Amino acid sequence: MSVYFSPMEQSAAPSLVYSGTPSAPVQPVRLAIFRVEGVLLRRGVLSASAYFAANSAGFRERLLRLGGVALTAPMAVLTAQNDRTMSNRAAWASLRGMSEDRLRVLGEEYAGGVLPNAVLPGGLDWLRKARADGFTVIAISENISHAVGPWLSSLRDVDEWRCNHLEIRHGEATGRLKDPVVGGHESGEWIRILAREKNADLSRSRVYASAGPDLLLMSRVGFPCAVNPDFTLRRAATESGWPIMDYNS
């Protein structure tokens, strides 16, 4: 007995013929996350904000902005171990009213003239090694995009970088950072979201960091490493048995 399918039924009928080979399951990637400040660069947020303030367009504006940095610097230092979000917001408040064009010019000068002298070669060596070992390399910075963006974009071994962004309205900085602020207590949740986005296996991933507030980030991966750590991170890394690297040149 033969079975006949009309042309419409033939198009609707499921195919019983399989051709080709089954596709291999997608393997999770491994992340290598590098904190820029303290791991790749010896200069931090306050250094950058002071540079931008000191190079404002006019003398009076320069004095006012430097005064603002001087006032917020102690608060930034005091809160850095407890609330990195607050310290980062305070560091950039003095740039309120600076034009976006001026920010761009100063950022290019800072990235091209200051940061090359602040590079930690040991950090770049580990970054290159991670890339050669097949990791997806991500750099994260608490600095603003105008300050570190040009430099990070020049690093061939970095697959992706994330940093803070100044809020711009009507062509001028408001002095506020856009949410979410890099360096806050949300870093643990951020890395979980990142792992979903990248299909990453955190148990086989690495984080290289230098400060106590990065503990939440480091605790989410299988291979955390403390680099040039401050007192809080050094103590935690020692207690947890994490590797510690010191290189300041």
Checking if the pLDDT of 8 tops 70, the result is no
pTM value? Answer: 0.83
| Predicted pLDDT at 155 | 95
Q: Out of 1-5, 96-100, 145-149, which region has the weakest mean confidence (pLDDT)?
A: 1-5
Contacts of the segment 220-223: beta carbons below 8 A, 24+ positions apart: 220/188, 220/191, 220/192, 221/31, 221/33, 221/191
Does the domain made of 31-245 have the CATH classification 3.40.50.1000?
A: yes
DSSP symbols for the chain: ------HHHHHHSPP----S-PPPPPPPB-EEEEEIIIIIBS--HHHHHHHHHHT-SSHHHHHHHHHHHHHHHHHHHHHTTT-HHHHHHHHHGGGTT-BHHHHHHHHHHIIIIIGGGGB-HHHHHHHHHHHHTT-EEEEEEEEEHHHHHHHHHT-TT-SEEEEE-EEEETTEEEEEEPSSPTTSTTHHHHHHHHHHHHTB-GGG-EEEE-SGGGHHHHTTSSEEEEES--HHHHHHHHHHT--EE----
Mean pLDDT, the chain, whole residue set: 84
Checking if the pLDDT of 177 tops 90, the result is yes
At 128-166, the pLDDT tens digits run 999 999 999 999 999 999 999 999 999 999 999 999 999
At 210-233, the pLDDT tens digits run 988 889 899 999 999 999 999 989
At 55-66, the pLDDT tens digits run 877 766 766 667
Please state the rounded mean pLDDT for residues 40-60.
84
